[in-house]
A and B are shown apart, each in its own frame.
Chain A
Amino acid sequence: MSEITTIEPFTEGFVEALLPELILFTGMLLLILVPNLGKGTFRIPGTQLRLPWLLGGTRFKFSSDPRLPAWIASITLGSAFLNVLYVFSQGLERVLIVSESGKELLLINGFSRIFELIFFGALALAAFSSMNRLQVKGIGSKIPENELYNNRRQADFYILMVTCALGMSVVALAQDLFVLFIGLELASFSTYVLVAFLKESKVGVESGMKYFIVGSVASGVGLYGLSMLYLWAGSLQFSVLAATFAVSGTTALPLIGIGFVLVGFGFKVSAAPFHFAAPDAYAGAMSPVAGVLATASKAMGMLGLVRMLLIVAAPESSDGSAVWLVCLGAMAAVTMTWGNLAALGSDNPKRMLAYSSVAHAGYMLAALTAVGAWNWDAAVAGDASAAAVAVMTALLFHLVVLVAFKLGAFLVLSILESEGGGSRLSSLGGLAKREPLLAVAMFIFMISLAGVPPMAGFLSKLLVIMGIVRVAVGDMGAEISDGGIYALGDHALGLVACLAYGHQLSHFRLLLSSCRRCDVL
Chain B
Amino acid sequence: MDDWISMPLVGFPLVASIVLLAFVSNANESMRRRLANPIRMATLVFSLVLLVITTGMFFQYFGNVSWEGISFNNYEFLHRYSWMESLGIHWSVGMDALSFPMVWLTTFLLPVTIIATWNEKNGATYFPILLAMGGALIGVFVSLDLFMFYVFWELTLIPMFFLILVWGGADRKYASQKFFIYTFTASVVMLLGLITLYFFQDPVNPLDYAGSMTGRTFDIPTITQHALMENSNGNWYLGANIQKVLFAMLMLGFLVKLPAVPFHTWLPDAHVQAPTGGSMLLAGVMLKMGAYGMFRLPISLFPHALQYFQLALLIIGMVSLVWGAIVCLGQTNLKKMVAYSSVSHMGVILVGIATMQPMGWAAALFMMFAHGIISPMLFAVCGAFKHHYHSMEIGAMRGMAKHSPWLATSMMFAWMASLGLPLLAGFVAEIMMFIALWYFLAAEGWSVFWMVGPALVLAVTAAYYLWSMQRTIFEGGDETQPPSSLHGAPVPDIANPEKLAMLILAFFTIVFGVMPWIALDMMHDWTIQIFEGLILPVLGNFNGGA
Interface residues of A (CB under 8 A from B): 380, 383, 386-387, 389-390, 393, 436-437, 440, 447, 450, 452-454, 458, 462-463, 465-466, 469-470, 473-474, 480-486, 496, 500, 503-504, 507-508, 510-511, 514-515, 517-518, 521
A452 to B152, CA, bound (A): 10
Contact of A484 among B87, B199, B203, B241 (CB under 8 A): B241
A390 to B216, CA, bound (A): 13
Flag if A482 contacts B213 (CB, 8 Å): no
25 contacts between A and B (CB under 8 A): A387-B214, A390-B214, A437-B25, A440-B25, A450-B184, A452-B157, A453-B152, A453-B154, A463-B87, A469-B195, A469-B199, A470-B214, A480-B239, A482-B241, A483-B239, A485-B242, A500-B188, A503-B188, A504-B185, A507-B181, A508-B181, A518-B172, A518-B177, A521-B165, A521-B166
| B454 beta carbon closer than 8 Å to chain A | no
Flag if A510 contacts B180 (CB, 8 Å): yes
Contact with A along B192-231 (1 / 0, CB 8 A): 1001101110010000000001110000000000000000
Q: Which residues of A contact B161 (CB under 8 A)?
A: 514
Flag if B181 contacts A510 (CB, 8 Å): yes
Flag if B177 contacts A473 (CB, 8 Å): no
A380 to B203, CA, bound (A): 10
Flag if A481 contacts B239 (CB, 8 Å): yes
Flag if B213 contacts A390 (CB, 8 Å): yes
| B155 beta carbon closer than 8 Å to chain A | yes
| B173 beta carbon closer than 8 Å to chain A | yes
A458-B154, A473-B196 provided; 6 other pairs, C-beta below 8 A? A453-B152, A465-B191, A466-B198, A469-B198, A474-B199, A480-B239
Q: Which residues of A contact B154 (CB under 8 A)?
A: 452-454, 458
Flag if A507 contacts B239 (CB, 8 Å): no
Q: Which residue of A lies closest to B161 (CB)?
A: A514
| A517-B165, A521-B165 given; A466·B195 CB < 8 A | yes
Query: Shortest CB–CB separation between residue B48 and chain A, in angstroms?
Result: 26
A503 to B190, CA, bound (A): 12
Q: Which residues of B contact A437 (CB under 8 A)?
A: 25
Flag if B213 contacts A389 (CB, 8 Å): yes
Please provide the chain B residues from 131 to 185 with a CB less than 8 Å away from any CB of chain A in the complex.
147, 150-155, 157-158, 161, 165-166, 172-173, 176-177, 180-181, 184-185
| B500 beta carbon closer than 8 Å to chain A | no
| B189 beta carbon closer than 8 Å to chain A | yes
Flag if A500 contacts B189 (CB, 8 Å): yes
Q: Which residues of B contact A474 (CB under 8 A)?
A: 199
Flag if A469 contacts B192 (CB, 8 Å): yes
Flag if A386 contacts B213 (CB, 8 Å): yes
Q: Which residues of A contact B166 (CB under 8 A)?
A: 521
Flag if B173 contacts A518 (CB, 8 Å): yes
Query: Shortest CB–CB separation between residue B218 and chain A, in angstroms?
Result: 10
A157 to B173, CA, bound (A): 41
Q: Which residues of A contact B213 (CB under 8 A)?
A: 386, 389-390, 393
Query: Shortest CB–CB separation between residue A456 and chain B, in angstroms?
Result: 12
Q: Which residues of B contact A463 (CB under 8 A)?
A: 87
Contact of A510 among B184, B192, B239 (CB under 8 A): B184
Flag if A447 contacts B158 (CB, 8 Å): yes
Interface residues of B (CB under 8 A from A): 25, 87, 147, 150-155, 157-158, 161, 165-166, 172-173, 176-177, 180-181, 184-185, 188-189, 191-192, 195-196, 198-200, 203, 213-215, 239-242, 245
Flag if B87 contacts A458 (CB, 8 Å): no
Query: Shortest CB–CB separation between residue B197 and chain A, in angstroms?
Result: 10
Flag if B192 contacts A465 (CB, 8 Å): yes
Flag if B151 contacts A453 (CB, 8 Å): yes
Flag if A452 contacts B158 (CB, 8 Å): yes
A462 to B172, CA, bound (A): 30
A486 to B196, CA, bound (A): 14
Q: Which residue of A lies closest to B202 (CB)?
A: A480
Q: Which residues of A contact B200 (CB under 8 A)?
A: 473, 480
Query: Shortest CB–CB separation between residue A460 and chain B, in angstroms?
Result: 13
| A462-B191, A470-B199 given; A518·B165 CB < 8 A | yes
| A504-B185, A507-B181, A511-B177 given; A386·B215 CB < 8 A | yes
Query: Shortest CB–CB separation between residue B231 and chain A, in angstroms?
Result: 14
Query: Shortest CB–CB separation between residue B304 and chain A, in angstroms?
Result: 12
| A465-B195, A485-B241, A503-B188 given; A514·B214 CB < 8 A | no
Query: Shortest CB–CB separation between residue B15 and chain A, in angstroms?
Result: 13
Contact of B192 among A390, A481, A484, A500 (CB under 8 A): A500
Query: Shortest CB–CB separation between residue B518 and chain A, in angstroms?
Result: 34
A514 to B172, CA, bound (A): 12
Q: Which residue of A lies closest to B239 (CB)?
A: A482
Q: Which residue of A lies closest to B204 (CB)?
A: A380
Q: Which residues of B contact A503 (CB under 8 A)?
A: 188, 192
Query: Shortest CB–CB separation between residue A364 and chain B, in angstroms?
Result: 18
Q: Which residues of B contact A380 (CB under 8 A)?
A: 203
Contact of B184 among A436, A466, A481, A507 (CB under 8 A): A507
A246 to B157, CA, bound (A): 50
A31 to B228, CA, bound (A): 68
Flag if A514 contacts B240 (CB, 8 Å): no
| A507-B185, A507-B188, A511-B177 given; A469·B196 CB < 8 A | yes
Q: Which residue of A lies closest to B21 (CB)?
A: A440
Flag if A504 contacts B188 (CB, 8 Å): yes
Q: Which residue of A lies closest to B184 (CB)?
A: A507
Flag if A515 contacts B241 (CB, 8 Å): no
Contact of B151 among A450, A458, A483, A496 (CB under 8 A): A458
Q: Which residue of B lies closest to A486 (CB)?
A: B241
Q: Which residues of A contact B189 (CB under 8 A)?
A: 500, 504
Q: Which residue of A lies closest to B139 (CB)?
A: A454
Q: Which residues of A contact B155 (CB under 8 A)?
A: 453-454
Q: Which residue of B lies closest to A505 (CB)?
A: B185
Flag if B214 contacts A484 (CB, 8 Å): no
Query: Shortest CB–CB separation between residue B146 and chain A, in angstroms?
Result: 11
Query: Shortest CB–CB separation between residue A169 and chain B, in angstroms?
Result: 28
Flag if A390 contacts B199 (CB, 8 Å): no
A480 to B201, CA, bound (A): 11
A440 to B214, CA, bound (A): 36
Flag if B181 contacts A511 (CB, 8 Å): yes
Q: Which 7 A-B pairs have the closest CB atoms?
A: A518-B173, A453-B151, A473-B199, A453-B154, A469-B195, A514-B177, A485-B241
Q: Which residue of A lies closest to B192 (CB)?
A: A500
Query: Shortest CB–CB separation between residue A378 and chain B, in angstroms?
Result: 13
Q: Which residues of B contact A473 (CB under 8 A)?
A: 196, 199-200
Flag if A485 contacts B245 (CB, 8 Å): yes
Q: Which residue of B lies closest to A510 (CB)?
A: B181
Q: Which residue of A lies closest to B151 (CB)?
A: A453
Q: Which residue of B lies closest to A380 (CB)?
A: B203
A389 to B25, CA, bound (A): 42
A466 to B146, CA, bound (A): 13
